[in-house]
Amino acid sequence: MDNKEKEFTQAVREHKDTIYMACYMFSKDSAEVEDLYQEVLINLWKSFTSFEGRSSLKTWIWRISLNTCITIDRKKRRGTPMPLELNIDLYNDTDADTRQIKMLHERISRLGPFDRAIILLWLENMSYEEIGAIVGISTQNVSVRLYRIREQLKSMNNQ
């Protein structure tokens, strides 16, 4: 294994949770999470040699992960619409926290891909500056979009 492969493997190992979080928010079940994860890894590998370090590795991985998920999501939406079904063990539980998580996931999944990416990063406790760097908008625009997204989420009814 050469040095680049070792660096790549280490980067993926360190940021696996980040990649999975992005894939989870753009999927309907665990099989789709795995498919998205593989696509993200492919895109990360293809771009790894061109990573110049102008942003942090975490920011770069978020950007590649979200762009991959958004692109695949857009391709899916062009086809026939599929209902969101969650078949993850966490959701078999019926306590109040789990119901809240299910409701939040359901509402977030109804947002557009770009807004979904922004709220996901915000839920990961990223700063507005980090979110802006990842999605390519100004800090002020992040603030405005988050306000609108939160208002949109509040006004949604569960279906």
List the chain domain ranges: 3-155
pLDDT band, residue 156 (cuts 50/70/90): confident
Lowest mean pLDDT segment, chosen from 24-28, 44-48, 81-85, 103-107: 81-85
The topology (CATH level 3) of 3-155 is: Butyryl-CoA Dehydrogenase, subunit A; domain 3 (1.20.140)
Which structure tokens are listed for 121?
A: 């990063």
pLDDT surpassing 80 at residue 94 = no
The pLDDT of residue 79 is 61
pLDDT surpassing 90 at residue 36 = yes
Distance CA 98, CA 7 (A): 37
How does 38-73 read in b/e, with b if 16+ C-beta sit within 10 Å? ebbbeebeeebeebeeeeeeebbbbbbbbbbbbebb
pLDDT surpassing 50 at residue 12 = yes
**% residues pLDDT > 90 (the chain):** 36
The pLDDT of residue 102 is 79
